[in-house]
Amino acid sequence: MTATHDTQASPQGSRGRLRRKLLAPAIAGATALSLVGGVAAATWWQTSDVTLDVDGATSALTVRDDTVAELLESEGIVVGEHDVVLPSPDSRIVDGLQISIRYARPLEVSVDGAKRTVWTTARTVDEALTFLSLNEPDSKLSTSRSATIGREGLTLDVRTAQDVELTAGGQTKQHRVAGTVADLLASAGITPDGDDILTPAATTQLDDGLRVTFVDVEVTTTQREVAVAFEKKTVKSDKLDKGTSKVTTKGVEGLAKETVTTVVHDGKQVSQEVTAKTVLKKPVAQVTTVGTRVVAEPETSSSSSSSSSSSSSTRRSGTKYDWMAAAGIAESDWQYVDYIVSKESGWNPSARNPSSGACGLVQALPCSKLGPNWSDPVVALKWQKSYVQSRYGGYRGAYQFWLRNHWY
């Protein structure tokens, strides 16, 4: 861009800024120029040294132009209505003049969502923001502050800092941050993951007074082995007496592996559930066999046993039912007692067996088991009740034994 004029060059060799041609014919024998012609020639050859700064690109020029506008035209520089030229185009050029040209750039700027287009001669984003009084250090920009702005312009999004409220970990604090909810979390040192609960969404733009809630959610999965309860079944069998039962297959617990998912919000457990279960060993069902066999009802006999004999004693008054009741025998067992006693003594409290020595209503052996009041039917029945309970588990068992063996 630096241009100088060669003073020894012909007019045809000079630059385009020299718009007048010098006619200097050589006239042999001419001794002098006219006064007017001499003054004009001297003016045309006068030059000025200037400095031209075009958007930071500086050139030193030696020019013969009279005004800044003529210089711009000579240099092929076209300025628009928003460009800045200093000094003004109509200013006269003098030696040592510094001329500055700043091209204006269209800047489409959005401030917190409000859009406008401005023209600026700033060559960087930082410089433009300063001119626009938007260069707050806590603002968030869509591009770097050091980014250059070309002649084609730039689109810039500016988010100014907002006063917002953040609740995290059960604590609420005030923050001044620019940008989105994600920027707020980042400034608070919070890095959310996919399990966390965030309200509103991370992409939400921050506005004054916005309340943001963050819940730190931890989801853990563990495994454990647990027992599997066995099923209980019953089957019927005519090989057992009705009213009796027996465990024929013992139940065995199984084993399973459970996957347990635990959810914790801000350090506090909110739920725990089994999300998967695998059986490692199947349980064995317990089977109880219930008897259906009906036992023939005992026949009551009023006769004495053939082996029994009579002896005199003091007899208790009342019937055999009164005696059984007095001995505390359950009425449901009376039929068995009646059968056994009928066979043993014929309900004779003083019966004695001369061959074995058994005595009393229940034919205790030896007789001394009944004590001195062996002939008291209630005493005898109380002893019998204790005896059959310890040996046969009750009167029903004693009765069944008697049927098979004819003694008890």
Q: Which domains does the chain have, with CATH numbers?
A: 11-18+37-102 (3.10.20.30), 105-159 (3.10.20.30), 162-215 (3.10.20.30), 220-293 (2.20.230.10), 320-405 (1.10.530.10)
Helix (H, G, I), strand (E, B) or coil at 68: helix
Mean pLDDT of 91-95: 95
The predicted pLDDT at position 334 comes to 95
Mean pLDDT of 69-90: 92
- Mean pLDDT value across the chain: 83
Mean pLDDT of 362-390: 93
Beta pairing, strands 254-265 & 217-228: antiparallel
The sign one gets for the Cα dihedral 63, 66, 71, 73 is: negative
Give the span between the Cα atoms of 87 and 120, in whole angstroms: 18
Mean pLDDT of 87-108: 94
Task: Please check whether residue 215 is in contact with residue 190, taking contact to mean a CB–CB distance below 8 angstroms.
Answer: no
- pLDDT class for 296, splitting at 50, 70, 90? low
* Tens-digit pLDDT profile for residues 30-66: 333 333 444 444 455 689 999 999 988 999 999 999 9
pTM for this structure?
0.48
Burial of 63 (0-12, 13-18, 19+ CB in 10 A): buried
How much helix, strand and coil, in percent to the nearest 5, is found in the chain?
Answer: 20, 35, 45
* Tens-digit pLDDT profile for residues 111-169: 988 999 999 999 899 988 998 898 888 898 989 999 999 889 899 989 999 999 999 98
Burial of 408 (0-12, 13-18, 19+ CB in 10 A): buried
